[in-house]
A and B are shown apart, each in its own frame.
Chain A
Amino acid sequence: MTTLTTDRPAPRAGGAPVDGPALAAAVSTHVPLATTVRQSLTMGWRGLLKIRRTPEQLVDVTLQPIIFTLMFTYIFGGAIAGDVGSYLPFFIPGILVQTVITTSVVTGVQLREDMDKGVFDRFRSLPIARIAPLAGALLADTVRYAIATTLTLVMGLIMGWRPDGGFVGVVSAGLLVILCAWALSWIFAFFGVIARSASSVQGISMIVLFPLTFASNAFVPADTMPSWLKGFVDVNPVSHLVTAARELTLSGSWTVDALWALLGAAVVVAVFAPLTVRAYMRKA
């Protein structure tokens, strides 16, 4: 009866009478890390079920990669690289990062919509880790990032992109981008928790998103930019991510940029995950 740090006493499915005072003496206020992870995975399972039930939510991650990749390749290709074929090795990793990160904004919007529903009241009243409903939602969204990643890469291949980094290099780049997008989605999840409505989440998120993705080397080399802008582009973690993905697809090699991108991702999670959970708990 004194399992103070382990899981809660297993619920009795049978008809045994409940002894409130005895249970009250036994329950702990602490949720162990392993339990937190398991609860987050369960919430992730819920997210996957939701995606399966409402596949129309996937429209953005299916159409956007196709349209953006096609459009920007033919708009910028000739002007920047002389011809489309030589622009692709430079551009595909860039548009990959841009597309997947844009997708992560939707995480915040959907989280806001989800939180307005009654079921979040129940999540709040359950003895589960506070972070689990948020982490679960973000976890399920990696499926969306994976779809966007795959489609962007496939579009590139269809248009004639032949990455020298090979299969392993391309897959590594894809995974790196998905991981970083997941980290960045904590920023948008934070807006999702503090905002009043889903549409305002969209608005605030775009203000963060545009400088982050466009003031980078995703579409054009930074060399021709004014020095103040180039200064930002050089420190922008998105630039490091783009460069890392480019190196992986071009030659299959991990560069120091990948390290910077991962470090940036870790910092974002370290800052925004606690902020988001705190804001969520204050609402609870």
Chain B
Amino acid sequence: MTTTTSGTGWAVEAQGLVKTFGDNRAVDGIDLRIRTGAVYGFLGPNGAGKTTTIRMLATLLRPDAGTATVFGRDVAREAQAVRQLIGVTGQYASVDESLSATENLVLFGRLLGLSRRDARRTAAALLDEFGLGEAAARPLKNFSGGMRRRLDLAASLIARPPLIFLDEPTTGLDPRTRLQMWDTVRRLVDGGSTVLLTTQYLDEADQLAERIAVIDRGRLVAEGTGAELKASVGTSRIQVGLAEERDEDEARRIARAVLGVDVARTPDGRLSAPVATADAAGDLLVALRQAGIHLTEVGVQQPTLDEVFLTITGHAADAARTPEEVLA
């Protein structure tokens, strides 16, 4: 919303980011441009390099190659300036387990230069906002995963940073807490913040993100709006099982003609193709019927992350098997 004044107007700009752990290229040349005031989603399986990329942008890891800026300030050369522009919420809660929720927020507020009184007031306001008011004085040991996650996010918002990194903010949360987290993200953006979030869930990226980068094996394999990505995968997939295996070539030809896309073969021998609309699925079934091709089964599925990957990368998501990202 506010693409003003200095620099390029991009909240994040990265060129050729590389990070290697041993002989594993966790991030292998990623270019990024993230608009100010938007939610940007990193979508990819475990070990794809999402967290490593975020850690480089958040000054927690030094890139082995490439450059990145946050609102025009270089993450490697001007790390201290960048840290004043960002809030980081990790995959696991980065709060002090031995302190209470209030003490945590007061600690971070004081470190950020708030007076004792302002730190207390901000802490109380944030705890209320995140529904943690009642648990404020309790030790964190008794906090649930969702409460920890909310406290962690609250801690990232003390300074109202213009750029917020959320690394898998809803992984492991129950559906209700997940929706609350989505609301929070939307409110942040309404307040003018830019949010960069990673997720393993297509629907989450779709719900929240203006643009989505699909990351696989340390590379950015696709980038665009949710609609653009879905157009490439189909909003859903139709899967058909053929009664006669010899019909396969003819069925593929018909599907290509009707749907305008190539057909994939699932491991259990069914044919699978993206369909943009429910009507397209109907058209295909009618065409197959007219050609006298008999089916044993028909199913229409919402696209899964696996299928996004299958379509974009040509291999299944779980085949992107790189070692767990090194966090230390």
Binding site for B on A (CB under 8 A): 7-8, 10-13, 15-25, 27-31, 35, 39, 42-43, 45-46, 49-50, 53-54, 117-128, 132, 283-284
Contact = CB atoms under 8 A, between A and B. Distances in A.
Given A20-B2, A23-B84, A126 B112 contact: yes
Given A27-B85, A50-B98, A118-B92, A20 B71 contact: yes
Nearest to A122: B94
A24 B86 contact: no
* Chain B, interface SS category: loop
Contacts of B98: 49-50, 53-54
Contact of B83 (A22, A23, A127): A127
B6 A21 contact: yes
Contacts of B93: 118
Contacts of B103: 49
Interface of B: 2-7, 9, 11, 36, 58-60, 70-73, 78-81, 83-88, 90, 92-99, 103, 107-114, 118, 121-122, 125, 139, 155, 158-163, 191-194, 328
A46 B96 contact: yes
B159 A128 contact: no
Contacts of A128: 111-112
B112 A8 contact: yes
Given A20-B85, A119-B95, A127-B84, 12 more contacts: A8-B113, A11-B160, A20-B162, A24-B81, A28-B81, A46-B99, A53-B139, A119-B97, A125-B58, A125-B60, A125-B88, A283-B328
Contacts of B113: 7-8, 10-11, 35
B112 A127 contact: yes
Nearest to A7: B113
Contact of B80 (A13, A22, A29, A39): A29
Contacts of B6: 21-22, 24-25
Given A18-B193, A20-B194, A53 B85 contact: no
Nearest to B125: A13
Contacts of A22: 4-6
B162 A19 contact: yes
B163 A20 contact: yes
Nearest to B83: A127
B118 A13 contact: yes
Nearest to B61: A284
B110 to A, nearest CB: 4
Nearest to A119: B96
Contact of B90 (A21, A25, A28, A121): A121
Interface centre among B9, B58, B72, B107 (most CB of A within 10 A): B107
Contact of B112 (A11, A19, A30): A11
B90 A118 contact: yes
Contacts of A19: 2, 4, 162, 192
Contact of A21 (B5, B95, B160): B5
A24 B111 contact: no
A272 to B, nearest CB: 23
A39 B84 contact: no
B97 A23 contact: no
Nearest to A10: B113
B98 to A, nearest CB: 5
3 tightest A-B CB contacts, nearest first: A20-B162, A17-B192, A24-B71
Contacts of A20: 2, 11, 36, 71, 85, 162-163, 192-194
10 contacts: A10-B113, A18-B191, A19-B192, A20-B2, A21-B36, A30-B80, A53-B98, A127-B112, A132-B111, A284-B60
B239 to A, nearest CB: 42
A23 B85 contact: yes
A135 to B, nearest CB: 13
A268 B3 CA distance: 50
B192 A24 contact: no
A42 B80 contact: no
A21 B99 contact: no
Contacts of A28: 80-81
B278 to A, nearest CB: 41
B112 A21 contact: no
B189 to A, nearest CB: 10
A35 B84 CA distance: 14
Contacts of B84: 8, 23, 27, 127
B7 A21 contact: yes
Contact of A121 (B94, B99, B161, B192): B94
Nearest to A13: B122
A27 B58 CA distance: 16
Given A8-B113, A11-B122, A27 B81 contact: yes
A53 B99 contact: yes
A83 B206 CA distance: 83
Contacts of A8: 84, 112-113, 159
B94 A23 contact: no
Given A11-B112, A18-B193, A118-B90, A24 B118 contact: no
A18 B72 contact: no
B29 to A, nearest CB: 23
Nearest to A9: B84
A13 B129 CA distance: 12
B73 A27 contact: yes
Contacts of B192: 17-20
